[in-house]
Chain A
Amino acid sequence: MSVDETTTARSTSLADVAHEPGAAKPDPILVADHVVRRFGGMTAVDVDHLEVQEGVITALIGPNGAGKTTFFNLLTGFDTPNTGEWTFQGRSLSGKSGAAVAKAGVVRTFQLTKALGRLTVLQNMLLASRDNPGENLWLSWLPFLWKKHEADSTEKAMEILARFKLDTKANDYAGSLSGGQRKLLEMARALMTDPTMIMLDEPMAGVNPALVQSLLGHVQALRDEGMTVLFVEHDMHAVRHISDWVVVMAEGRIVAEGPPSSVMKDEAVVDAYLGAHHDTDLGDDSLLDPAVLARYEAEEEER
């Protein structure tokens, strides 16, 4: 099954969904209701209802200051809302800590990459491994109890690193990686936790254009393996080619939902972007030219 066919198959699951804010989905994995977060007098997030379809790539877009990242932080337990509840796979996650959300299978990345620069790339990966007996204080000083888990995790980590072309850097400090490589590492590290759903906060921000394409490829591959992907992006053109469903936020509210092709034409969306700021054409379609891509990728390889 080629990537295109998969996309089509996934998109058909959303074919009957209404193109309106808060639309009901056939298999929602994440459902949020009445989520409100205020800072002082300002309401940063006010989301009435949102469902995220299982097994597809959903993009959460909106101009800067639309409350996307705040909403993201709320859903992942890194901020506390004034009101609101949300469920993941039918279980409530509202009020849970960031760690508990991750344990439930929702793992996130950060807009400003949080690769741990003073650990090596491999240590970063191993840190993410689940249920490591060696992470229990009582067992940690008895290496024979966790050596096997550690060896298994190392093997798994190297596989994932190879996939992200980071295996040659396994023993370098993560601080020595380029910005794009750190984004990749953060994504690879998230995969180490075997997540059900992965939430990426502006994965393309500040990344070398050649890597953007490879990043997007990785995101699609995750979806094809059955993972649910939700990612935040402020550039609406960048999401067009890979997302199955787009949710648009402006001034804290969801203003539109729909497949990428139709949502871009939505009046409310155009208004939201024009109203906030108009940074003209952010979509770099030249990246789709295979020749240009190959050149960029060759450059990135040499790093």
Chain B
Amino acid sequence: MEEFLRILTQSAGEILAPTTAAFAIAAIGLNLHFGYTGLLNMGQAGFMLLGAYGFGITLTLGGPIWLAFLIAIAAGVVFALLLGMPTLQLRGDYLAIVTISAAEIVRWFGRSTLWQEWTGGASGLQGRYYKDPFHALSFLPEGRFALGPFEYINTGSDSWFTRIFAWGLVALVLIFVWLITRSPWGRVLKGIREDEDAVRALGKSVYSYKLQALVLGGAIGALAGVVYAIPLAISPDSMGGRTMTFFVWTVLLLGGAATVFGPVLGSMIFFTAYMFMRTGMRALSEDTAVGNVISTTQVEYIGGMLVGITLMCLVIFRPQGILGNKKELAFNVR
């Protein structure tokens, strides 16, 4: 029972974890792409990794923190322009193919020895190079703080300050996206999502709107990468991989594409359930006879498999997710 409570607490802790916030932001960006515009960006992890590199490298080289954020965003913008310009006039799956490839390329360059002195190669950039300037922003006093069962230090990697910053950023991005998607601009995007020829026939430059959406969502994805990297480290294999992108997709489709709160709710539910499942199975594997059949490493694999199956089932049986409106379903790309 005590064990169960521990698992439960640990899972509930994921609701406010910085990683959850990072995925929420990444999914908000992807929501602009897919939910509102119908663009199939299969490389959100590439945007995140680039953003994190931009942030981390700037600080490592001694740049000020505001510049680090700017460079992170700029990295996302440039990447989106590079990918979007050749592909956005073609059928939707070309963008998907190019983005998934480009994200892999970013990862390969990141782990390559080529720019190792900046990126740290395959082992990545350690957090200590860039964490200090971030922690210096903290307005919290020294020490620890406990809220119910959740106790963290005030300032540090896995801290209250990181949480406040991450969720503050979620709120900001959410408000911004809410404002722009309920505007006439957002209406054009929804029109494009459904039938871009119809929108073109009304005199709107579809290409330009798609590029704007791709750039904006990509910049948000780059910010998400920064939030993800702040409490951890910038490691190309764990951040830039395809798994990361697909987790973001699962988060978005779980919460509901083309909804305002879908990405946030999706991220919270996803990570709570994911943590519960993995810690639960690991506890079973370690403490009971189940361990003879399933090792703790295999628990991770089974966890990943279940994510894949969840994604398939979501798309097949409830494509509108938890919050979505079936009538305004996002799946209409050709």
Contact = CB atoms under 8 A, between A and B. Distances in A.
Interface in B202-228: 202-206, 212, 216
Interface residues of A, number: 40
Interface stretch (B47-55, B79-87, B186-194, B245-253): B186-194
A107 interface: yes
Contacts of B186: 140
Contacts of B140: none
Interface in B158-200: 176, 179-180, 183-188, 190-191, 193-195, 197-200
Contact of B184 (A102, A118, A132): A132
Contact of A119 (B180, B190, B205, B206): B190
B258 to A, nearest CB: 9
B205 A99 contact: yes
Contacts of A97: 200, 205
Most chain B beta-carbon neighbours within 10 Å: one of A107, A137, A193: A137
A103 B203 contact: yes
A140 B185 contact: yes
Contacts of B206: 99
Contacts of A110: 197-198, 201
Interface in A113-148: 114-119, 123, 126-130, 132, 134-137, 140-141, 143, 146
Nearest to B332: A118
Contact of A134 (B185, B197, B199, B202): B185
B329 interface: yes
A116 B204 contact: no
Interface residues of B, number: 30
Given A97-B205, A99-B205, A135 B195 contact: no
A175 interface: yes
A78 B201 CA distance: 9
B185 A108 contact: no
A132 B193 CA distance: 19
A115 B179 CA distance: 25
A99 B191 CA distance: 14
Given A118-B328, A118-B332, A134-B184, A143 B179 contact: yes
Contacts, number: 102
A259 interface: no
B33 to A, nearest CB: 15
B56 to A, nearest CB: 29
Given A118-B328, A119-B187, A119-B190, A102 B180 contact: no
Contacts of A103: 203
A98 B187 contact: no
B216 A114 contact: no
A119 B201 contact: no
Interface string B298-334: 0000000000000000000000000000011100100
B57 to A, nearest CB: 29
A164 interface: no
Interface string A142-158: 01001000100000000
A234 interface: no
Contacts of A189: 202
A126 B185 CA distance: 11
A135 B199 CA distance: 13
A76 interface: yes
- 9 nearest CB pairs, A to B: A102-B203, A134-B184, A140-B185, A114-B198, A140-B183, A141-B179, A98-B200, A103-B203, A135-B184
9 contacts: A97-B200, A98-B200, A102-B201, A110-B197, A118-B332, A119-B191, A132-B184, A137-B185, A190-B201
Given A98-B197, A115-B198, A140-B184, 4 more contacts: A102-B202, A129-B184, A135-B183, A150-B184
